[in-house]
Structure 1
């Protein structure tokens, strides 16, 4: 039986996953893939990255490796290979991967106690030994962090904003209100 604390952490992880995937809805292939920051941040790449990280932390670390090889995470992969999607990889491929990783993660969390011990081989030896609780908090935090990146990238793509469908978690205001608000923030920044 999954502990109440583990259930809470899984609920927060699930919410972050949903928010991240929702950012792809309604966009064409170019818009989900195009880099919108100088470091190449893009929506579908964020999903691929988060799925890959989750597969490692809540799979390999606890002796339950994710069954599909992730070549972009191999030691000899090019830097940032997990942060963008090749033309041969489809959106459906990435979303399917993320769904399967989520199921694998959920199975790990529901089959182990939160004090189960694992080892993160890519961390320094002094901090390599971890508990499921520690890693689950790490992954929840990481996923929410990248969902925040996706919030910004999606707003840059087409102006869509908010946490998820039906809940933007922003003050009500039309485009004129937002333009005025932004101008006030800009003025304050210049005056400072």
Structure 2
């Protein structure tokens, strides 16, 4: 498999994993902050949509023609990480899909040694190749997909990579409870904490 095709495939896989964490969620659960930093599942999807447009769009002279949240709310440093009530889930998912299409088109159109310009990176790193940026972006999307795994498990106990490919051992609720107890017991023993 050609390197650019492989990278596009890996990036697409991480996008799917992140997006799957919204499946079946109510509007409230998709949007609500689940940790003190305010991170929400739909906010993560929105963030990935816009960073993808920046990294595999603007940074390589391929502006997507989609205004970013920073353009619309320049005084809000978190504008890409949360979803105001007036912005619909459909709007976020539309930008997410369009950003994926635009990113994939960039990977298809340009050689991996094409040099871009990432103005928000330090001066010594500001002119990376498409290969470097794509690896960076894929790692970033994977990080956010991992965050979404944990957030979704906190919401309703849903776990796994994708619904049709969980990438986890098959256990029922009792099996997971036993595993949890085993991990807890080991942590207590290692730390010298008495059993519960």
The TM-score, its normalising length taken from structure 2, stands at 0.93
Residue equivalent to 1:81: 79
Change (3 A) 1:75 1:116: farther
Q: Is the 8 A contact 1:23 1:43 kept in 2?
A: yes
Alignment gaps of 5+ in structure 1: none
Structure 2 CA distance for aligned equivalents of residues 164 and 60 of structure 1: 30
Residue equivalent to 1:143: 141
DSSP-derived class of the 2:158 partner: coil
Q: Is the 8 A contact 1:71 1:77 kept in 2?
A: no
Residue 79 of structure 1 deviates from its aligned partner by 2.2
1:143-167 per-position Cα deviation (integer Å, ceiling 9, x unaligned): 1110011111111111111111211
Kindly tell me the number of residue pairs found equivalent between the two proteins: 190
Residue 37 of structure 1 deviates from its aligned partner by 1.1
Residue 15 (1) aligns with residue 13 (2): yes
1:98-140 per-position Cα deviation (integer Å, ceiling 9, x unaligned): 1001111111111100000111001111110110000011111
Moved over 6 A (4+): none
Query: What is the alpha-carbon root mean square deviation over aligned residues?
Result: 1.4
Q: Is the 8 A contact 2:46 2:96 kept in 1?
A: yes
Residue 71 of structure 1 deviates from its aligned partner by 2.7
Residue equivalent to 1:59: 57
Structure 1 CA distance for aligned equivalents of residues 26 and 92 of structure 2: 15
Alignment gaps of 5+ in structure 2: 191-196
Structure 2 CA distance for aligned equivalents of residues 103 and 28 of structure 1: 27
DSSP-derived class of the 1:65 partner: coil
Pairing 1:86-105 to 2, within 5 Å after superposition: 86-105=84-103
DSSP-derived class of the 2:6 partner: helix
Q: Is the 8 A contact 1:52 1:73 kept in 2?
A: no
Residue equivalent to 1:38: 36
Structure 2 CA distance for aligned equivalents of residues 191 and 83 of structure 1: 39
